[in-house]
Structure 1
Amino acid sequence: MTTPLAREIAAEIAADGPISIARYMARCLGDPRHGYYTTRIPFGQDGDFVTAPEVSQVFGELIGAWLIAAWEDQGAPSPVRLVELGPGRGTLMADILRVARLRPGFLQATHVDLVETSPRLRDAQRDRLADAPCPITWHERIEEVPGGPAFVVANEFFDALPIRQFMRTETDWHERVIGLDDTGALAFGLGPARLDDAALTGLPSAQPGTILERQPIADAIMATLATRIATEGGALLAIDYGYLRPGFGDTLQAVKSHAYAPVLETPGEADLTAHVNFAALAGAAECSGAVAHGPMTQAAFLLALGLVERAQKLAAGKDDTAFATLEAALNRLAGAEEMGELFKVLAVTSPGIRPPPF
């Protein structure tokens, strides 16, 4: 199957040569006319995948409680920016603000800043947050968020940022690229760019065919946010699927209609993601003067914040069907075979601050 974007990418390759995986991801997800996130609402049962805020309100409520506690631990500064990166349909922020209504002082101090590039998703967020109890501003770039203490949430944000891949050959590491095969279809190949020895520090030797991933855009964004938090105050919470320590492996994947799809098959019509290297994110934060806490598993994080206790309150008075639905949702969030172990949580603060429950 071909798509309009596939034809455009093939024409670009035919004219200029193979492109990096980072370029391919950027076009597939963010192309102004055909990009996945610019042309559709992908979240929910009717979309291609379900994120934690769409699973249960408990997730957003606990994140809201964490943000308020972190704000109080830092002396309840005012004013503050409450920032969400990639806010989806606005579900997470709506749940956070519902909890925030219990702390009027937090709401009075807060201006919400949503960093979103998709016009369609911005419209969905405006509808979902129409009755928000504090002012909201939308931004295309993180750098546009005004200064001051910032409490930042990035849920399933870093996994969608473009990555680079390198493959081990008999003699060296070459960048993996996307070109055209003999039939004119998109195909993986190797380009001339290579890794230097410094990029391999701490990694074991690898056999030919081994793939190593790098996330330069994610690390750069983390460095920008961490620098701000270190100098102006606030905290950051990054929640995503990923791994704790650097390693080898191809984690680039496409998802369409709640199932995995071939990465090169339907450009612009499937979500593209890669597992987040949390060690690299933490390192970028530390090198920028902030302090990284964790990462820990999503299950451990939510349980420490009171997942069970909140679930018990929601279950009170429920019939068997409603109780079973709630139980399934909470297992999806914290179960070892679901999001609980695969997803990790990393917090970033200025020096001298240790947020709950890290």
Structure 2
Amino acid sequence: MSSLKDLLGRMIRADGPMPLSTFMTLCLHHKEHGYYASRPGLGKDFITAPETSQIFGDLIGLWLAHTWQAIGAPDRFNMVELGAGRATLMQDALRASKAMQEFQAAFDLTLIDASPHLEAIQADRLQAYQPAQLRSLDELGDGAALIVANEYLDCLPARQFLKQNEIWQERVIGLNAAGELELGLSVDRAPQTPDGIAEAQTIVEFQPGLESFIEQLRARAEQGSPVCALLFDYGPNDVAPGDTFRAYSNGQQIDPLSCPGESDLTVDVDFGRLKRIAEKAGLIVHGPVQQGEFLLRLGAEAYLNRLITNAPDKAQLIYDGARRLIDPADMGAKFKAICISNQTQFTPAGF
């Protein structure tokens, strides 16, 4: 039994079953036994878009430079990546935009990540830019900010509700007769259910952290400086997800209750709800659009041809990576891009 599994068992015996969101928070963020704190090899349990093809990071770098110009080319601004991981995305983005000297001279780079084990990798890969490394967006200094995040929102803890006999009950993590973790239902009627639930739905999940994230953007926007966030993740456009709670370890999907603290936990992002929250907060939302469509609008096809021309011996490898990013049957449709800002005078590229 893992140390965290033992701790969870003691907590449940003492206080009763816990909401899924509490379970996810402990599994991912426990200071000693959580996934981010205890996994020095973090990043090997899943493959993200930046690792799939350099085209992703390259085009994001060009997008950031173009957007900086569109918001007035501020002399100083914060360039921020949320969930920076192994810094592959930002490394590609900054290499692709290196020729834009005024842009590169204007930003202060900040990486925000929950894993202390990745700090050395990030600092090494981006040492020329001397990035600040923070744990939360709340710690970022004042001023204009361009924010990019890939697969950041999907790790925000989720709650789930099940409708039975017209009554919503919350799904919770408890213990079975053998003392093993199991999903069950709260005894009482759920005290809080999310808005926007379709009548026909019998199970729904939502991420309370989406409100907190948008509040962070709203608070920055209220200061008056330009704020623009480009976010990529997987999930539906406008229908609240059902049960999408899952875990990944060594590239394979596994039982999310089997080894707490040792696997990456995730849920689909409800982009429709994210958009409603942002607009209610007074922010401007573009998208969501499918990732493949977004990248094609940025010129992915021409960029792909250029890469193949420059490295014909790697043509198949380059093509296969780009296809995975763009093909609707692969990552192109499931993953979405959305842009949230306080800028009313421009439409960001790709949207």
Q: Please indicate the TM-score interval, normalised by the length of the shorter structure.
A: over 0.9
2:215 matched to which residue of 1? 223
In the alignment, residue 310 of structure 1 is paired with which amino acid? Y
Q: Work out whether 1:73 is the aligned partner of 2:65.
A: no
Hey, what's the Cα distance between the residues in 2 that align with 1:14 and 1:284?
36
Give the one of 144, 150, 171 matched to 2:166.
171
Q: 1:217-267 CA distances to partner (integer Å, 9 max, x unpaired)?
A: 123212321442363213110100111013351011111121110110111
The verdict on how the C-alpha distance between 1:248 and 1:317 changes in structure 2, with shifts beyond 3 A counting, is: closer
Give the TM-score, by structure 2 length.
Answer: 0.94
Q: Write out aligned runs for 1:131-142 (5 A).
A: 131-132=128-129, 135-142=130-137
Q: Secondary structure at the match of 1:269?
A: coil
Give the one of 49, 53, 64 matched to 1:52.
49
1:265 matched to which residue of 2? 258
Q: Work out whether 1:301 is the aligned partner of 2:294.
A: yes
1:283 matched to which residue of 2? 276
Hey, what's the Cα distance between the residues in 2 that align with 1:153 and 1:163?
22
Q: Secondary structure at the match of 2:157?
A: coil
Q: Write out aligned runs for 1:123-272 (5 A).
A: 123-132=120-129, 135-191=130-186, 192=188, 194=190, 199-201=194-196, 203-206=198-201, 210-229=202-221, 231-272=224-265
Q: Which runs of 5+ in 1 are unaligned?
A: none
Tell me by how many angstroms 1:318 deviates.
3.3
Q: 1:67-113 CA distances to partner (integer Å, 9 max, x unpaired)?
A: 11111011101210001111001111111111231111111110011
Tell me by how many angstroms 1:15 deviates.
1.2
Hey, what's the Cα distance between the residues in 2 that align with 1:115 and 1:284?
23
Tell me by how many angstroms 1:42 deviates.
5.0
1:104 matched to which residue of 2? 101
Q: Write out aligned runs for 1:278-357 (5 A).
A: 278-320=271-313, 322-350=314-342, 351-357=344-350
Aligned length: 348
Runs in 1 of length 4+ with deviation above 6 angstroms?
Answer: none
The verdict on how the C-alpha distance between 1:71 and 1:339 changes in structure 2, with shifts beyond 3 A counting, is: same
The 8 Å contact of residues 241 and 270 in structure 2, kept in 1 or not, is answered as no
The verdict on how the C-alpha distance between 1:300 and 1:248 changes in structure 2, with shifts beyond 3 A counting, is: closer
Q: Write out aligned runs for 1:82-97 (5 A).
A: 82-97=79-94
Q: Secondary structure at the match of 2:210?
A: helix
Tell me by how many angstroms 1:204 deviates.
2.0
1:37 matched to which residue of 2? 36
The 8 Å contact of residues 162 and 215 in structure 1, kept in 2 or not, is answered as yes
In the alignment, residue 190 of structure 2 is paired with which amino acid? R
Q: Secondary structure at the match of 2:118?
A: helix
In the alignment, residue 257 of structure 2 is paired with which amino acid? L
Hey, what's the Cα distance between the residues in 2 that align with 1:62 and 1:41?
29
In the alignment, residue 141 of structure 2 is paired with which amino acid? P
The 8 Å contact of residues 235 and 241 in structure 2, kept in 1 or not, is answered as no
The verdict on how the C-alpha distance between 1:304 and 1:226 changes in structure 2, with shifts beyond 3 A counting, is: farther
Tell me by how many angstroms 1:201 deviates.
4.3
Hey, what's the Cα distance between the residues in 2 that align with 1:239 and 1:115?
16
